[in-house]
Structure 1
């Protein structure tokens, strides 16, 4: 990742570093809510390090309501496009393998406190059982 505050999320805080779309899909398909941190280029965007500090605080504040991972450079652009959250840094929320929304850029703490409960409450619609089995 190239910035100590971003690197420590994986090295010290045990957040997985997702470096392929296959690994990302497996991570987000697990039960529960998941937040993917898309740092962007910390050399060009000073907010990347700020969000790297904010994310563990959010996870603690929401008492483990979601797990977190860091998105690697190689898949960042593809993820941003598929999630529709183009600005970095961003936090992209998943539930049941489906993106339920994102929070781009650094926000005021009150904004996080208002938006995250809403994102955590979203349950993605699953396809009818007949479609789910035919897609498998």
Structure 2
């Protein structure tokens, strides 16, 4: 079951709905900064709609410095395991195919701004 506010992200805002790890890799390996919204179980997680509303506002506040996608149920578990960001809803940040940070659960606006500013300033780890 998809919540209307999540459908709004993929419909109105045209965020890709990532349904397999190949799509996740293709999305995160492109140039620039990328954010994947991991909604979690909408029936159990009452914060999910809040984050679905906040994400486009955050993108606007950061003047489009990152693009956004939504993790489909089919890929969510594997994505959480591979990034070790287990709590949902979460925003997981990537640069050059590597995860550089995550923000689980809903936060105050000022905390989002502070945390995203820190995350986007981080370098990608050397392999």
Whether TM exceeds 0.5 here: the answer is yes
1:48 positional shift: 0.4
Query: In the alignment, is residue 56 of structure 1 matched against residue 56 of structure 2?
Result: yes
What is the alpha-carbon distance in structure 2 between the residues aligned to residue 125 and residue 57 of structure 1? Answer: 28
Q: Does 2:19 match 1:19?
A: yes
What is the RMSD of the two structures over their aligned residues, measured on CA atoms? 0.8
Query: SS in structure 2 opposite 1:5?
Result: helix
Matches within 5 A, 1:23-34: 23-34=23-34
Residues 1:124 and 2:124 are matched in the alignment: yes
Q: Deviations over 1:56-87 (max 9, x none)?
A: 00000000010000000011011001111000
Q: What is the rounded CA distance, in whole Å, between the counterparts of 2:15 and 2:106 in structure 1?
A: 20
- Note the residue ranges of structure 1 that are not aligned, 5 or more in a row: 128-136
Larger C-alpha radius of gyration, 1 or 2?
Answer: 1
Give the whole-Å Cα distance in 2 for the aligned partners of 1:108 and 1:38.
18
**Structure 1-normalised TM-score?**
0.91
State the aligned residue count: 127
TM-score, normalization by structure 2? 0.97
Q: Which residue of 2 aligns with 1:95?
A: 95
